[in-house]
Amino acid sequence: MRIVFIGSVVFSAKALKELIKINADVVGVVTKQESAFNSDFVDLSTIAQEYDIPYLYVKNINSSESIEWMQSLQPDVIFCFGWSNLIKKDVLELSPLGVIGFHPSLLPYNRGRHPLIWAKVLGLTKTGSTFFFMDEGADTGDILSQKEFDIAFDDDAAVLYDKMTETAMKQIVEFHDQLKSNTYKRVKQDTSVGNNWRKRGAKDGAIDFRMETKSICNLVRALTNPYVGAHIDYKEESIKVWSVEPGEYNEFNIEPGKILQIADDKIEIKTGDSSIWLVKHDFNELPQVGSYIQ
């Protein structure tokens, strides 16, 4: 089964290596030379060169050059794992088995942008890893493989990324063999249910200390490495916060945003319901105890 592989993020690299590990017939790799869009960007050409796999750098996956190059490789299937641009009809129809895409949620629920981040920010306790046959919609194609995994309160973005990857690698091994032996199943998505998550912007990463401690923990943990980090607007600066822990302050006559204490560069701040410790942050000069972050 001849596979053309499209990808440009850390997950793409791990999936490509997994396919190589199981001796899948990857006949070509499409990737990017650079990306200002993906914080977890990876140039897959290094892997392709290591294993003597032809590769192509593209800026527009739907260009005639890209299509002609992929078509020349005569793929039976195209795997597109970790690509931020829309795949159009001409690419979708290049191979007999179509294009297999990936979305880290339990489709048809939570289609759209930033699925791991939204799942953590919203305090979900589970999400999933879904591989599907891509169509011209956004995450709407028939499901090939889907598995669920748990989200713990202490999980941060890196832990969730690892959980997602570990789950997905097992699926790739399973459905590769199913596609190869023509024993796979297609499960149509129920379009009467589900939802779409919107694109997040800079304001979505701003910490408001009127929020409950649990919500602030979820926000910071959702946006920490490999992502951009949550932030505090302080004295006309944007201060990144990378790690937090719940505090135990239970008096309710103190306003949210007041700095309660500082210990070893850790800052305890009053929240809407208790307090929170900023454990790792980008303050160059620590604020004063008793002052406010609003």
CA angle 50, 48, 24 (to 5 degrees): 100
Name the residue among 122, 111, 118, 74 with its Cα closest to residue 94.
Answer: 74
**How far is Cα 281 from Cα 293, in angstroms, rounded to an integer?**
14
Catalytic residue among 103, 114, 176, 281: 103
Using only C-alpha atoms, the chain has a radius of gyration, in whole angstroms, of 22
Assess whether 103 carries a catalytic annotation.
Answer: yes
Do the Cβ atoms of 85 and 7 come closer than 8 Å? no
Helix ranges (DSSP H) in 62-197 = 64-72, 89-92, 115-121, 157-181
Residue showing tokens 């989200």: 151
Q: What is the DSSP annotation of 197-236? A: EPPP-GGGGB--TTS-HHHHHHHHHHHSTTS--EEEEETT
Cβ neighbours around 236 below 10 Å, total: 5
Contact 200, 39 (CB under 8 A): no
Catalytic residues: 103
